[in-house]
Amino acid sequence: MSAPPTPVPSPSAYLDCAATTPMRPEAVEAMLPFLRDRFANPSGSHRFARDARRAVDEARDVVAEVVGCGPHEVVFTGCGTESDNAAVLGAVRRGSGVAVCSAIEHPAVSEPVALTGGRVVGVDRLGRVDLDELGATLAELRAGPGVAVVSVMAVNNEVGTINDLAAVSDVVHRLAPEALVHTDAVQAACWLDLREITPHVDLLSLSAHKFGGPKGVGVLVERGTPRVEPLIIGGGQERERRSGTHNTAGIAAAATALALVDAERDVDRVRIGALRDELVAGLRQRIDGLVETIPPAHKVAGSAHVCIPGVESEALLFLIDERGVSASAASACASGAMEPSHVLAALGIDRSLAAGALRLTLGHETTRAEVETAIEAIDAAVGQLRRHATGAAPGGAS
């Protein structure tokens, strides 16, 4: 019999909430009955199945209220990636024309767009889609092959930029009125009132584990008459828009977490925004040359993306992880060379500066103690890397 896995100690500072968030205790409690006694398949006809179905329907009502749509417009999926894929591929398969997206989309959107021969529109230095280029692209495509869907994310997952979806929708409706408007709102639920986004889009994607729910549950909001071809068929669930047995426990937990986020969003935005500002100010005070990638006015409260000259992200992440700080970077090691992320490249950030990108993302459970720990750890790690790069003897911090 194999030994149980060695437990990994909890981080002293978890600043990777854009990757995933800890589950809310209330969401965990919401799951438990459906993992124990209320385990029936919601598609059945007996009383136990009807009980499970009622739980799914109640969760759908909660999601619809928070998003600002009708319950019949909420489709439960397996994750945010599936929701994005379903929106882009489903729209192209049902409609006539190609997909268009911004240059800083998550691969869950950009890869389906590329797969179907779609077009990519640039962004400005703040990560906002270039509306003039979008308009020109749509005007060009109207002559052939047409536009099936335009996808622009509400909040960027790397740098936190907020896009003006009302303006995007206006351009699309004027120049390609046949096209659907989709937004990847996976990073938006914690920080933006979704009711203010939904009126401007036809399709909207969410992922439960980004707002305190469980992994393995996503949402695709499809407003009005269904106009996308389903990707998963054969079971008839979700009014034949997404077949497959419902994850009842996960769906109940996702709705619970989303309701909590909605109720606490205004307070969290103020508190977390202040902690984010303290984090960046503390790092800037200690680390020469540090650049905050996007100014606070243009991004969500939980995003503290920075670029640090003279270091490489991979080495920096290793050192701060040793000091108990969990974070991520916008760079990935490919073929032995550090390559800047497509987001930073689209922003026009210098390659050498982008090599030192650090994504620090805060959430509902982030504390001032974690921020202080992160400042100390990052400062020490940068100092160590810079001394090593210059061959200086060990000494003080940077």
Chain-centre distance for alpha carbon 344: 16
pLDDT at 2: 63
pLDDT at 10: 73
Strand pairing category for 357-358 and 306-307: antiparallel
The predicted model scores a pTM of: 0.94
pLDDT at 394: 45
Class of domain 25-261: alpha beta
Class of domain 265-389: alpha beta
pLDDT at 397: 41
- H or E element, residue 14: strand 13-14
Active site residues: 333
pLDDT at 392: 56
pLDDT at 13: 97
- All structural domains of the chain with their residue ranges: 25-261, 265-389
Retrieve residue 92's tokens.
């192209």
pLDDT at 349: 95
The beta-carbon contacts of 265-269 under 8 Å, at least 24 apart in sequence, are: 265/190, 265/191, 265/193, 268/190, 268/301, 268/364, 269/191, 269/301
Q: Around Cβ 214, how many Cβ atoms within 10 Å? A: 21
Per-residue pLDDT of 207-216, as tens digits, reads 999 999 999 9
**pLDDT beneath 70: ranges in the chain:** 1-9, 330-339, 392-398
Per-residue pLDDT of 238-249, as tens digits, reads 999 999 999 999
